[in-house]
Homo-oligomer: A and B are copies of this chain.
């Protein structure tokens, strides 16, 4: 193996996926194509791309541009992805900004409900 290729490997960034997302996404009504779109978006946001387009996504995926656009639409409707209009402070130029905030809010909401259900089940058991 060439030194040069290894250096590219050792110096690459990594995308950190929370294990709680991997374990619970199906309960948030997310399928694997949708999750992969979310992971690509996270990866592009980390790299400084504030608004990944269906074009960019389809170049990295086996899905067509139309399929990517449709999944983005679905994710916005399911409130897992938000698209906001922002304004650059210096220049006043408007731009679109993509955020996974709704995804994390949904996941936390799910974990809180799950934790409450457990507490209630333990209570019910004790009270018999």
Chain A positions near chain B (C-beta within 8 angstroms) = 1-20, 22-23, 26, 31-33, 35-36, 39-40, 43, 46, 48, 60-63, 99-101, 104-105, 108, 111-112, 115
Contact = CB atoms under 8 A, between A and B. Distances in A.
B22 A105 contact: no
How many copies altogether?
4
A125 B112 CA distance: 37
Interface majority SS on A: helix, strand, loop or mixed?
A: helix
Given A11-B101, A14-B14, 13 more contacts: A1-B3, A3-B105, A5-B108, A8-B20, A8-B111, A8-B115, A12-B19, A15-B17, A16-B17, A17-B39, A22-B39, A35-B36, A48-B48
